[in-house]
Amino acid sequence: MDNLNKNELNGFIIIDKPTGPTSHQIDSWVRDITGENRVGHVGTLDPNVSGVLVMALGKATKLIDIIHEKPKEYIAVMRLYNDVDKTIINNVFSEFTGKIYQLPPVRSAVARELRERTIYNMNILEIKDKLILFSVKCESGTYIRTLCTDMGYVMGTGAQMADLRRLSTGDFTEDNIHTLQELSDSVILKNGGKPSRFESIFIPMDFVFKNSPKVIVKNTAVKNIENGSDIFPQGIKTLIGSPKKGDTVAIYTDNNELIAYGKMLVNEINDLKVVDITGVLRDNNGKNNVVRKNNKRKNIQIQKPGEKLHGNIHNAEKWKNTGNRGKPFRGNSRPKNNAFNIRKRKDK
């Protein structure tokens, strides 16, 4: 299928994922339908799980991590292995509301370590024989399959998840959900000169920040932000929404164009840096900028050349504080690639 147009699509589409395909297969199909090269999903759903799968297109793919951290809602069916008194069921559901501990399943995309998650609320909708239909709103990263298994252990009978459908991811809900066929039809109509259907499906990027404080910057500061600079008082035109220290803020130009997002560093503007830019959404000479990623492994120590040699280098002490040719250093001089040269000698 031909592209919608030569311009990049920057926004979101909520797909009603059917059971069967993987979330990555949905990525591929949306890419083929829309003609947009950059497509990603928010929160992977197992092949046998259906419901809200938020698809990010173009520059909106940079916002996936922000959306992924939002709470999610599901409707699920739990199957008990034996009959359980309804009073016990209600008590267990109450016990598992709030802070809980979970061990991710063996087949998961995260490390299998015990971690804490929050169940904001759970409501039992129906109990029929050994089946329990319930809704749950939970913190991102909660495994509903594991939740069902753990509640079954506490009930004393054992249980498993029989069915699951996602109802929402943050502010992305079933209210604007569409099948792949509906998306395909809307693209065909758009290519035929009738864009209204596609426009009703497509959600712009700034939807993510509709409830977030906003920082309007001066035109003179835009270029610096594109190049990765943080925001100082001199570059701010106005604030919208009374942002406080630690808040995620959206950065807009005076022309109401969303160009970046970051963390507020102060409660009141003074001479200090105001916003720590996390990501840049506006292209800089055709390049898509991400200033710094939220890397959860950032505390891992990295070996620095010349300070500590790798354990498999024999006789490392022999080369310590020596130059490229085995001569001692003089003064405070030190070769820049000492560790590299040692490895090079070892390879020979």
For residue range 34-58, what is the model confidence (pLDDT) as tens digits?
999 999 999 999 999 999 999 999 9
Are the CB atoms for 229 and 265 separated by under 8 Å? no
Residue 325 has pLDDT above 50, yes or no: no
State the fold for domain 74-163. Answer: Alpha-Beta Plaits (3.30.70)
Residue intervals in the chain for CATH 3.30.70.3190:
74-163
Q: Strand runs (DSSP E) across the chain, as ranges?
A: 11-17, 39-42, 50-57, 72-80, 98-102, 115-128, 131-138, 159-169, 172-173, 177-178, 203-204, 214-217, 236-240, 248-252, 258-264, 275-280
Task: Tell me the pLDDT tens digit for each residue of 100-123.
Answer: 999 887 776 667 788 999 999 999
Domain 212-280 has CATH 2.30.130.10: yes
Are the CB atoms for 10 and 205 separated by under 8 Å? yes
Which class is 11-68+172-206 in CATH?
A: alpha beta
Residue tagged active-site, from 2, 27, 32, 46: 46
DSSP string, 203-246: EEGGGGGTTS-EEEEPHHHHHHHHTT--B-GGGEEEEES---TT
Nearest to 266 by CA among 233, 294, 293, 292: 233
- Stretch 64-68: mean pLDDT: 92
Residue intervals in the chain for CATH 2.30.130.10:
212-280
C-alpha 193: how far from chain center: 35
Parallel, antiparallel or unpaired: strands 39-42 and 50-57: antiparallel
Range in 122-126, 188-192, 254-258, 333-337 the model is least confident about: 333-337
Nearest to 13 by CA among 205, 209, 232, 221: 205
Rounded distance between C-alpha atoms, residue 114 and residue 129, angstroms: 32
Q: What is the pTM of this model?
A: 0.76
pLDDT of residue 138: 97
Parallel, antiparallel or unpaired: strands 50-57 and 159-169: parallel
**CB proximity list for 278: less than 8 A, separation 6 or greater:** 248, 260, 261, 262, 263, 291, 292, 294
46 is catalytic: yes
Residue 7 — pLDDT band, cuts 50, 70, 90?
Answer: low
Parallel, antiparallel or unpaired: strands 258-264 and 131-138: unpaired
What long-range pairs does 109-114 form, CB within 8 A, spacing at least 24? 109/44, 110/141
Task: Tell me the pLDDT tens digit for each residue of 202-237.
Answer: 999 999 999 999 999 999 999 999 888 999 999 999
pLDDT of residue 312: 43
pLDDT of residue 268: 86
C-alpha 304: how far from chain center: 30
